[in-house]
Amino acid sequence: MSGVRVIGNLQPCLLIADGADPQAAADAGFDGVVLPAAEFHAAACVRLGLLAVADVESPAAIPAGADLLLLRGGEITNRPMIEACAVSGVPLLLGTAGSNLREVTRAVGWFQLAFRRALPAAPARRRVGLDGGGSLLLLHGPDGPLRAMARMAEQTLTPVGYQLEGEPGKGALAVAAGACVLLARSDGAALVPAVREAEKLLGEPRKQPTHQEEEAAARSRRAIVAARDLNAGSVLTDSDLALVVGVLGLAPHELDKLLNRALTRDVAKGRAIQLEELEGESPEPPSWFAPRPPSRPPGQA
């Protein structure tokens, strides 16, 4: 594994095996594996290209060389433990099992205060980081309601992952609901392909049509064409124009660019009319026009 793996809402979901040995986790396609702090040894993880996640049980037992720390849900009220993880400088996965939103936000506050006061230097060997430079990620579950993840992320401004102990299919749903980490005990042979397929279907978080979508839209959208044979010099009116599907041309919202302008050449019935075939210039759109509705009616300053 080269470089630093980034965890965040716009990144592929990080899959961490809980309760598996490193070789089995690597064979199943996981990105990391949880190791008990008392038996922590990252060499095998590094060799297999896995992230080493330390299951921390004591403030004094934070192992060196861990890529991520894990605090189980039972530690959500353990302020000394949370603060010890914060000052270590190693990103923390904080379990939220059995806690309510107030307890979660309080624990996030403890972590952030300790982290900012200590301003820890980045560990010498950092192979993972959080998008935006943070060091805390909440783990919802195990198998809790998926909609709660969005609520926690909104309330705490902290990325949220999911702890999965049930069916692998729920892992794919968790990714679709916004989980950027999955801590899973389920079979990786079923979980990993399901999660990667979910990521593929989710795609990029922007509204950008594919080439195939653009071609399909061009065939399904209406365009402005001549309603009958028109001669050069004709001044266009509504009755001269028609809207048809399957022709490439000006869209219906561009009708004002054609009306009351004279043709410079003959146009056959059914052919799209181009702006280059008209005399004069197209009228400017109203100054208040924008993709969003105007804040004031037209004509008001």
Using one digit for the tens of pLDDT, what is the confidence trace for 133-159? 788 999 998 878 999 999 999 999 999
| Alpha-carbon dihedral angle through residues 14, 16, 22, 23, given to the nearest 10 degrees | -70
Question: Is the pLDDT reported for residue 128 higher than 60?
Answer: yes
Angle at 259 between CA 274 and CA 221, to 5 degrees: 55
Ranges of H-type helices in the chain: 22-28, 43-48, 79-88, 101-118, 147-156, 168-176, 188-202, 211-220
**pLDDT tens, position by position, 162-192:** 999 878 888 999 999 999 999 998 777 889 9
| Mean pLDDT score, 110-138 | 80
Structural domains of the chain sorted by starting position, each given as residue range(s) with its CATH number in brackets: 5-202 (3.20.20.70), 211-277 (3.90.1210.10)
Instruction: Give buried/exposed letters for 179-200 (b at 16+ CB in 10 A, else e).
Output: bbbbbbbbebeebbebbbebee
Token representation of residue 4: 């630093």
Per residue in 51-60, is it b (16+ CB within 10 Å) or e — as a string? Answer: bbbbbbbeee
